Amino acid sequence: MRILFISSEVAPFSKTGGLGDVAGALPRALALRGHQVRVVTPLYRSVPRATLQLFGSPVTLHFPFGDVEVRSYRAVGDVETVFVDAPAAFDRDAFYGFGDDARRFAVLSLAALAFAQRDGFAADVVHGNDWQSAPALLALRTGYAHTALGRARRVFTIHNLAFQGMFPKRELEALGIPWSLFTVDGVEFYDQLSYMKTALVCADVLTTVSPSYAKEIQTPGFGVGLDGLLRHRSADLHGILNGVDAREWNPATDVFLPRTFTATEPSGRARCRSELIASCRIDPPVDGMPLFGIIGRMTGQKGADLLQAALPRLLEQGASAIVLGAGDPALEHAWRQLDARYPRRLAVRVGFDESLAHRIEAGSDFFLMPSRFEPCGLNQMYSLLYGAVPVVHAVGGLKDTVVDLSQPEGNGVIFDVPTPEAMFGALVRCVELFRDPARYLAVQRRGMNSDFGWGRAAAAYEQLYRGPPSP
């Protein structure tokens, strides 16, 4: 099949979170199954230009807000990655969060279709990811309806329902979306234009990134106002767990680590741990206390408030912890304040640091991920593979990948309610496990032997791309 895959982030070129990882890995897994995949993504300012080639003639997109000339660059590997060069939209110091995001990602979406048409890329499937791809799915049903591309199967993946792409309704006119679509069954959501809803309405098939999250988002507690629509589309909604890209995340070959290691030969891990502690300039934990690692966007989603409430008691008893993340200024500030209170026990690194992220997974005894909701979560899977026993709230993809150590196949610690007390209880269980080295190693070993290859997910997407078997 020919698959046109649209994503606002693609690792290693651009990444703020797991979407980048997925868009860097799933298309390749599909290509390995024999499909022809073209990934389309913005040429942001930060994308390294050195290996990219300009190709094709420029295309002019006509929007009521103005004409936009776009050029295409590409990187060719196992899959073709096409970069949309529209400097007014993407040559900026961040990916998201601008007043004209509705227009910027309409440019991404419509350029993806225009380039496919220009290049004779006759897609069987157009696979959009998150709200940034919604205008493409809408255009396939409207302006492109009677073209060859209009016959493509429209697949949409929700990576995070909490980010919806909501815009003032006046943007409809600027974008050329007819007012007749501004209805409850259309693109309207609380009197605004919702890109997320647009995609949910326009796609033939909906997916999200874990089976549990697929169920959760059909309930008011997790549906962010769209649970009714998702229940209505329940038959078309599938949960497919993400995989791990073994080229990037494999402790046996990881270029960021001072020593590599494997489940059967884990001795290099001790060196990763001591170098991590030294490089973060903190004291090692006192005897019998563990080193905790934490990585993630600092947003309400990730449960930083639970950590900030529960961790100090452990630090006072001699545990150590390393935190890496960036995001909400209030959460960054709270972490920095905690850092100032425990300078020898806690290291807080605010920023995006790929190398440190790998070294934290390889050197921590436990990895803490108490997310209030988590569509899939990749970090807990990296932790399992790297031997940093994960501690998670029982939600979304976390509960689909981590099994509590009370079970025979246990590979981590799970707690049921997102409260500081439950978080603290989970940390106490970590200490107990850590003081029983044979048991700790058995739990760790089970995680390291997990199989999170992308092949399984790619096969599941392939089935959905083909559509229901003919009766």
Residues that bind ligand ADP (CB under 6 A): 17-18, 21, 295-297, 324-326, 352-354, 357, 376-379
- Output the residue with the shortest Cβ distance to ligand ADP: 18
Q: What contacts 24+ positions apart, CB below 8 Å, involve 98-101?
A: 101/165, 101/167
Burial class, 193, CB count within 10 angstroms (exposed 0-12 / middle 13-18 / buried 19+): buried
Would you call 206 helix, strand, or coil by DSSP? strand
Q: Which does 209 bind (CB under 5 to 8 A by kind): ligand ADP, ligand GLC, none?
A: ligand GLC
| Nearest-approach distance from CB 9 to ligand GLC, in angstroms | 9
Strand intervals (E) in 302-447: 320-325, 346-350, 366-369, 389-393, 413-415
387 phi-psi bin (left φ>0, alpha ψ -120 to 50, beta other): left
Tokens of 192: 């605004």
First to last CA, the chain: 21
Q: Judged by CB, which is closer to ligand ADP: 31, or 350?
A: 350
Helices (H), 203-303: 211-216, 227-232, 268-279
Q: Judged by CB, which is closer to ligand ADP: 349, or 429?
A: 349
Taken in order 144, 149, 154, 156, the sign of the CA dihedral is negative
**Contact positions vs ligand GLC (CB under 6 A):** 17-19, 22, 159-160, 209, 242, 374-378, 397
From the CB of residue 55, how many other CB atoms can be counted at a distance below 10 Å? 14
Q: Which does 432 bind (CB under 5 to 8 A by kind): ligand ADP, ligand GLC, none?
A: none
CA-wise closest residue to 389 among 292, 303, 265: 292
Q: Judged by CB, which is closer to ligand GLC: 285, or 377?
A: 377
Q: Tell me the sheet residues that pair with 320.
A: 291
CA-wise closest residue to 368 among 281, 453, 429, 327: 429
Would you call 298 helix, strand, or coil by DSSP? strand
Q: Which does 352 bind (CB under 5 to 8 A by kind): ligand ADP, ligand GLC, none?
A: ligand ADP
Q: Which does 353 bind (CB under 5 to 8 A by kind): ligand GLC, ligand ADP, none?
A: ligand ADP
| Nearest-approach distance from CB 327 to ligand ADP, in angstroms | 8
Q: Judged by CB, which is closer to ligand ADP: 379, or 411?
A: 379
Q: Judged by CB, which is closer to ligand ADP: 153, or 358?
A: 358
| Nearest-approach distance from CB 21 to ligand ADP, in angstroms | 5
Q: Which does 128 bind (CB under 5 to 8 A by kind): ligand GLC, ligand ADP, none?
A: none
Q: Judged by CB, which is closer to ligand ADP: 175, or 257?
A: 257
| Nearest-approach distance from CB 432 to ligand ADP, in angstroms | 26
Tokens of 156: 């949409």
Q: Which does 113 bind (CB under 5 to 8 A by kind): ligand ADP, ligand GLC, none?
A: none
Query: Phi and psi (nearest 5°) for 405?
Result: -70, -10
Q: Which does 379 bind (CB under 5 to 8 A by kind): ligand ADP, ligand GLC, none?
A: ligand ADP
| Nearest-approach distance from CB 18 to ligand GLC, in angstroms | 3
| Nearest-approach distance from CB 379 to ligand GLC, in angstroms | 8
- Output the residue with the shortest Cβ distance to ligand GLC: 18
| Nearest-approach distance from CB 373 to ligand ADP, in angstroms | 10
